[in-house]
Amino acid sequence: MIQSIGNKSRSIEVAGGDNISPSAGGNSLRIEGISKTFVGGERVVEALRPVDLSISAGEFVCFLGPSGCGKSTLLNIIAGLEAASSGNIIVNDKPVRGTGTDRVLLFQEAALFPWLNIQKNVEFGLRQAHVPGKKRAEIARHYLDMVNLSGFENSYPHQLSGGMRQRAAIARALAIDPDILLMDEPFGALDAFTRDKLQAQVETIWSATHKTILFVTHNVREAVALGDRVIVFAPRPGRIIRDFHIDLPRPRSLEDHHLG
C-alpha cells in the first residue's frame, strides 16, 4: 500500500505499515477498525469501511478523496463529534470517547461566533477551561500574532475577509493547545490566492508548533503541498486505497510567507 514520492529514507516503509513508530514521543494517534454505516430505511450505506491507521506525533497527514469517500466522517469520528459504528480511536495509547480538547476540529466555514469579537473568540476554549482572564488575553494575543491578526482583536467576524476568519479560527484552535489539529477542508471556500497563502501559513505554524495535523481535502495539489503523508480515499463504500509518503523538502510553498 505504501508508496513514495521523492527519494528520501521514508520510502523504505514496510508494506501494510500501520506501525509507523511514534518515536517522537508526544501524542500519537491510532485508528483501529473504525467504520461507519448509516441505515436509512431498507438501505444500508457503508460510509466508511473499517479503517486502520497509525499516525505518529507531529506528522502532517492529508486525507485526499472525492466527496462521499468518508474522509470527513473519519475526521469527525476522531474529533468525537460523530459516533463510529465500530472500532477505537487511541490517542497516546489511551482509547478516547467523545470530544476532547486534545483534538480540535476546524471546519470549512470558520465557525467563529458572530456575537464575540475576535479576541473573545480566540479566548473561548480557554474560558471553558476556566483560565483566568489575564492569562487568556495573553495567550489569545500570542496566537493572533502567530496568524498575523494583531490589530483585529476588537473586530467582529463579519468585518473580516474569509481568509482572515479562517486564520482566526486557527488561532482559536491553537489557543487550547491541542495535540492534534483536525482540519476539514478548511480552505475549501476560499479563493485560490488566499488558499495558497494560508497553506503556506499552516505549514509555518506546523513546523513551529509540532502539532499533529490531519488535513482533509479533495485538492491533490493541496494534499501534496502540505502532507508528509497523503492517504487517498475512494467512495462507495468509503475506504482507503493508497497511502503515500511525500518526501519533498520543506518549506514547499512557492508563495510569499509573509502575510499582511
Name the residues that contact other proteins, by CB under 8 A: 79-81, 99-101, 103-105, 107, 109, 111, 113-115, 124-125, 127-129, 156-158, 172-173, 176
- For other proteins, the closer CB: 84 or 230: 84
**Residue 152: count of CB within 10 angstroms of its CB:** 18
Q: From the CB of 101, what's the least distance to other proteins, in Å? A: 5
- Distance in Å, CB of 208 to other proteins, minimum: 21
Nearest approach, Cβ of residue 98 and other proteins (Å): 9
Q: Which is nearer to other proteins, 31 or 105 (CB)?
A: 105
Map grid coordinates 508548533 to a residue: 209
Q: Is 68 left (phi over 0), alpha (psi -120 to 50) or beta?
A: left
Question: What nine digits make up the cell of 218?
Answer: 479533495
CB of 148 to other proteins, least distance (A): 22
Q: Shortest Cβ distance from residue 89 to other proteins (Å)?
A: 14
Q: Which is nearer to other proteins, 167 or 245 (CB)?
A: 167
Burial class (CB in 10 A: 0-12, 13-18, 19+), 111: middle
Quick check: 103 and 178 in contact, CB under 8 A?
Answer: yes
Q: Shortest gap between Cβ of 234 and other proteins (angstroms)?
A: 26
Do 48 and 34 touch, CB atoms closer than 8 A?
yes
Nearer to other proteins by Cβ, of 48 and 173: the residue is 173
Q: What DSSP line would sit under 99-123, residue for residue?
A: -BTTEEEE-SS----TTS-HHHHHH
* Residue (76 or 204) nearer to other proteins, CB: 76
User: Which stretches within the chain are classed as H helix?
Assistant: 71-79, 118-128, 133-146, 162-175, 192-209, 220-226
Alpha carbons 242 and 41: distance in angstroms, whole number: 32
- For residues 111 and 224, which CB has a smaller minimum distance to other proteins in the complex? 111
- With respect to other proteins, which residue has the nearer C-beta, 82 or 247? 82
- Cα distances from 69 to residues 83, 131, 202, 236, in angstroms, run 17, 39, 24, 7
What sign for the dihedral angle of Cα 50, 98, 185, 139? negative
Taking the complex as a whole, how short is the minimal distance between the CB of residue 8 and other proteins, in angstroms?
A: 35
